[in-house]
Each structure stands twice: as C-alpha cells, then as structure tokens.
Amino acid sequence: MRISLFITCYNDTLFPATGQAVVRLLERLGHSIDFPLEQTCCGQMHYNTGYQQEAMPLMRRFVRIFREAEAVCIPSSSCMAMIRDHYPKMAAEQSDPGLRSEVEELLPRVYELSELLVNRLGVEDVGAWFPHRVTYHASCHSQRSLHLGDLPLRLLRKVRGIDLVDLPNIDRCCGFGGTFAVKMGDVSAAMLAEKMRDVENTAAEVVTAVDNSCLMHIFGGLHRARAGVRVAHLAEVLASTQDDGAQEAGA
C-alpha cells in the first residue's frame, strides 16, 4: 500500500528519529511511503490554546495536501485526536459544504500509527527485536480520544527480547498538556513528579508511547533527575531489528 506520512511539525523538527523509524518499519512491511513536503502542522497548539481562528487555515492545508491519499499515517496520538475530534466541527463552522464533505471523506483514511498497523494492515508481529526492559505510557489522547485500548501493547508483546512491564496508574496524565506545561508550570511539575515515581518503580530502561510530546515531557524530567531511563517512540521500538545491532532506537 502507498502510505502518506504526516509526520507532524514537532516530530519533524525535534524527533526526526521517529519519522525515520516509521519509514523503516512500514517499508520493511512492504509498503511504500509518500512524504508531501508541503505539510507543516495540524493546528493543535493553536486550537487548544484558544486561537481557533488561526488553526483554520492549517486544517484546510492538511485536507488539501492529503485528500488524495490512500492512507495517512500519523505517529502522534494528540495530533491524530486533533484531526479526528475537531476537524469535523471546525469544517462545519465554515459555510463551505465542500470542505465539510472533504473532511468527512478523508477522515476514515487517517490513522494513528498503531491503528494503521493493527486495524488497517492487520499485523501485530512486525518482526521487531528490542532486548530491553520497557514500560508503556498510555497518552491521554490515545486512551480517551482515540480509544486505542491495548493496540500498542499488542504490538509490543510481539517484540522479540522485550521485557515489558506494566506502568502503574497508566490512566493518569503526565502533566504535559501542550501550553499547560508552561502556563501552569508548577502544577505540571507536580504531575510529572508522580509520573516519574511510577516510571522509576517499574525499573524500566525505556519508556515508550505513541506520542513524543508526553515522552519529551517525561524524559525532560527523568534527564534532569539523572534517572538513567530513556524514552523511545513506539515506532522506534517496532523498527528496531536484530540487524540494527548497536544502533537501535532512541539512542
């Protein structure tokens, strides 16, 4: 299948390794990747901070770039949630019936990475090898907007060599929340402290998730605390194979 990648603005700029992993993984599974260079941002930051008008052209841009795609893959649960939860409403507010139907037609073809793998491509065992103690952080959007349930865990359980441990209080927010982390920095820090305690209690070497924004937050705290725990996006765990040898994910 030809899969169009919407990498998201922050993955593009801050976490290129995740995008590279998605490409490696999907190509290994026999698919071809298309990366339209016109893409920028889904508009989530603007929309959620109250700048809804500013998000509008970004929605139109996304729709214009991807409307012909066979399937769109987004390795970010919060951007996926932005698109799935808010685009239809945003489109409905415009007096543009064409836009509304374009959004409606496009949405069923847009997938978060683990949805794409399990629900659309029908794979759980992607042939990965990742010999580390790993815990999975369920991002809020993945649980309560996308309702991913155990999709990411089903993929992780099939990874060779992995020592997968449950994260206690998995349903609790890490305190990132986009601009929340700076606007309400102290409350966010208190939430992060609890999440870090939970992570450290698992004795995991690696925290994984379907969202680099939570991971950036959690890792930011762990790194400051010299906790000796690293993070890797789910794509990076799933992309790594025995052949990668030393240069595996998230390094």
Partner 1 sequence: MTIRVGESAEAPPFQKAALPLLEDPQLRKNVRHATDVIQRKRGLVVAEQTDWQELRNAASAIKAHTLRHLDHYLVQFERACTAGGGQVHWAADADEANRIIAGLVKQYGGNEVIKIKTMTSDETGLNEALERDGIRAHETDLAELIIQLGRDRPSHIVVPALHKNRSQVREIFRERMHLPELGDQPEDLTAAARHYLREKFLNVKIGVCGANFLVAETGSVCIVESEGNGRMCLTLPDVLISLAGIEKVIPLFQDLEVFLQLLPRSATGERMNPYNSLWTGVHPGDGPKHFHVVLLDNGRTGILADAEARQTLQCIRCAACLNACPVYRQTGGHAYGSSYSGPIGAIVTPQLLNMRQGQTLPYASSLCGACYEVCPVRINIPEVLIHLRGRVVREQKSTLDPEALAMKAAAAIFTSRTRFEAAQRLGRLGQAPMVSKGWMRNLPGMLGNWTRVRDLRALPPQTFREWWKAREKAAGKGSHA
Nearer CB in complex with partner 1: 114/188: 188
Q: Which residues pair with 164 in a beta bridge?
A: 134
Strand-strand pairing, 110-112 and 133-136: unpaired
Q: Give me the least distance between CB of 246 and partner 1, in Å please.
A: 19
Tokens of 22: 């998605």
Nearer CB in complex with partner 1: 23/80: 23
The residue within the footprint of partner 1, chosen from 35, 100, 154, 227 (CB under 8 A), is 35
Among the candidate windows 96-104, 122-130, 139-147, 197-205, which touches partner 1 by CB under 8 A?
Answer: 139-147
For 62, the 3-state DSSP assignment is helix
Q: Per rule CB under 8 A, is residue 244 in the interface with partner 1?
A: no
Burial of 116: CB neighbours in 10 Å, binned 0-12, 13-18, 19+: buried
The amino acid that residue 197 corresponds to is R
Number of residues forming the site for partner 1 (CB under 8 A): 67
The residue within the footprint of partner 1, chosen from 61, 100, 120, 158 (CB under 8 A), is 61
Q: Per rule CB under 8 A, is residue 26 in the interface with partner 1?
A: no
Residues 6+ apart with CB under 8 A from 227: 196, 199, 200
Q: Per rule CB under 8 A, is residue 185 in the interface with partner 1?
A: yes
**Contact of 28 with 127, CB cutoff 8 Å:** yes
Burial of 15: CB neighbours in 10 Å, binned 0-12, 13-18, 19+: buried
The residue within the footprint of partner 1, chosen from 132, 137, 217, 233 (CB under 8 A), is 217
The residue within the footprint of partner 1, chosen from 40, 120, 158, 165 (CB under 8 A), is 40
Residues 6+ apart with CB under 8 A from 64: none
Q: Which residues bind partner 1 (CB under 8 A)?
A: 7, 9, 11-20, 23, 35, 37-41, 43, 45-55, 57-58, 61, 140-141, 143-145, 171-173, 175-192, 216-217, 219-221, 223-224
